Amino acid sequence: MTTNGIPSTDLAVDAPLPLPAQSVDIPGVTSIPRLIYGTAWKADRTARLVTDALSAGFRAIDTAAQPSHYREDLVGAGLRAYLSSPGCPVTRSSLYIQTKFTPTQLWSPNLPTPLPYDPSAPIEAQIRSSLFSSLAHLSHLPSTEHANQQPQGAHGAGEGAQDAPYLDALILHTPLATHAETLRAWRVMEQFAPHPVRRLGISNVFRLEDIDHLVTNATIKPSFVQNRFYPDTSHDRGIRALCRHHGIIYQSFWTLTANARLLRSAPVDCVASAAAVPVEVALYAFVLALGHNCVLDGTSRRDHMRADLDGLRSVAAWSATEEGRAPWREHLAAFRGIIDDMF
């Protein structure tokens, strides 16, 4: 499916095999794109790269209110530039934008970048301040239209709220020191769902019990867990299994940079050759085929942006053919064996 010649990342692949579909469902809400453009470490290039990614066909953007690694303000600038461009084929409602609240434990006191909140304030005030900053940065409206809007919480979204800035997801960037502190922060985030925040998630989770505690005690369950996908954690085998059990979407990052061995593996090479795609795209396809997950793609090259999106469609199309169906199944099984992912 295309929109004015631009391929949509919401295209689902309807097939009986575990193919790399382009979207994934969250229970009770609409599908979200499975390939998310990651904006970490883009610095002053962020606005241009976000506009490039959206123009190439990405429909999901990941950022964070963490100025040392992200330029959330420039993500918003790129978003507004794209949406206001002549002939833009989509509206804000067609896009998926997620950001993060970053607790003080992920900040270095030696970094000159300012926090989007007072670190001496209670966690409730920290999250509110950070969220207000994110809504201002990522608004699809001109700055004069959102400058005086404050996040009201789920029960304070009055008349006109449908036109107000919103986030598709707010992610807690890391669990806090204790389960009680994490739940306290989560309770604050819950106050702003479903408006102006539609979904909640958590990142950098290394212990199964952190997820279990949230699922058991939270009023609004996490929709996402965003983690490094790399060998040091056995590619998060246990956490991904737990996410699948609870219907939580797993978002992987470091998918390429931390997996040189997988990029050189026989299954990846075989699928890349058969589908005529780069090995990087073949690896993305395998990770997506593991089920109920998304992948962050942080390429800074415009040609790679379009090639990644088109390449996933090529893999899906090849693997659905009579010639490709059996080899895809075989190579996927071999890939699962390499990462010991046989659940």
What is the sign of the dihedral through the CA atoms of 256, 258, 260 and 266? Answer: negative
Q: Is the confidence at residue 80, as pLDDT, over 80?
A: yes
* In-domain check, residue 75: yes
In a domain, 11, yes or no: no
Cα separation, 171 vs 24, in Å, equals: 18
Q: Dihedral angle at the C-alpha atoms of 105, 66, 213, 222, nearest 10 degrees? A: 180
Q: Find the helix or strand (DSSP H, E) in which 280 lies.
A: helix 279-289
What CATH number does the domain containing 185 carry? 3.20.20.100
Within-domain flag for 332: no
Residue 86 neighbours by CB under 8 Å, 6+ apart:
none
**For residue 16, what pLDDT is reported?**
31
User: Is residue 190 in a domain?
Assistant: yes
- Predicted confidence at residue 31, as pLDDT, reads 76
- Per-residue pLDDT, 23: 62
* Total domains present in the chain: 1
Q: Please give the torsion angle defined by the CA atoms of residues 273, 276, 278 and 281, in that order, rounded to the nearest 10 degrees.
A: -100
Q: Whole-prediction pTM value?
A: 0.89
The pLDDT value given to residue 112:
63
CA 334 to centroid of chain Cα atoms: 27
Exposure string of 248-280, with b = 16+ CB inside 10 Å and e = fewer, is bbbbbbebbebbeebbebebbebbbebbebbbb
Show the tokens assigned to 249. 């979407």
Please check the confidence at residue 162 and state whether its pLDDT lies above 90.
no
Residue, of 292 and 166, whose pLDDT is higher? 166
In angstroms, how far is CA 36 from the centroid of its own chain? Answer: 5
With the CA atoms of 74, 76, 256 and 319 taken in that order, what torsion angle do they form, in degrees rounded to the nearest 10?
Answer: -150
Sort 110 into a burial class: Cβ within 10 Å, 0-12 / 13-18 / 19+: exposed
Q: Would 42 be classed as within a structural domain?
A: yes
pLDDT digit string (tens) for 212-239? 999 999 999 999 999 999 999 999 999 9
Q: Are 25 and 331 in contact (CB under 8 A)?
A: no
- Please write the tens of the pLDDT for every residue from 26-65: 554 457 899 999 999 999 999 999 999 999 999 999 999 9
- What is residue 158's predicted lDDT score, i.e. its pLDDT? 44
Whether 126 is covered by a domain: the verdict is yes
- Model confidence pLDDT, tens digit, residues 296-333: 999 999 999 999 999 999 999 999 999 999 999 999 99
DSSP 10-56: TPPP--SS----SEEE-TTS-EEESEEEE-TT-GGGHHHHHHHHHHH
- Asked if the structure places residue 267 within a domain, the reply is no
What pLDDT, on a 0 to 100 scale, did the predictor assign at position 342?
60
CB 155 within 8 A of CB 216: no
Q: 327: burial class by Cβ within 10 Å (0-12, 13-18, 19+)?
A: middle
CA distances from residue 305 to 36, 301, 310 in whole angstroms, order as listed: 11, 6, 9
Judged against a pLDDT cut of 60, whether residue 144 lies above it is answered with no
Average pLDDT, rounded, for the chain: 88
Exposed / middle / buried, residue 337 (Cβ in 10 Å: 0-12, 13-18, 19+)? exposed
Share of the chain above pLDDT 90, in %: 78
The arithmetic mean of pLDDT across residues 268-292, rounded, is 97
Residue 288 counted as domain residue: no
Query: How many helices and strands (H and E) does the chain possess?
Result: 12, 12
pLDDT grade for 24, boundaries at 50, 70 and 90: low
Asked if the peptide bond before residue 196 counts as cis, ω within 30 degrees of 0, the response is yes
- Give, as one character, the DSSP assignment of residue 145: H
Give the tens place of pLDDT for each residue, 241-273.
Answer: 999 999 999 999 999 999 999 999 999 999 999
Find the domain containing 165 and state its range.
Answer: 29-222
Tokens at 63, concatenated: 């950022």
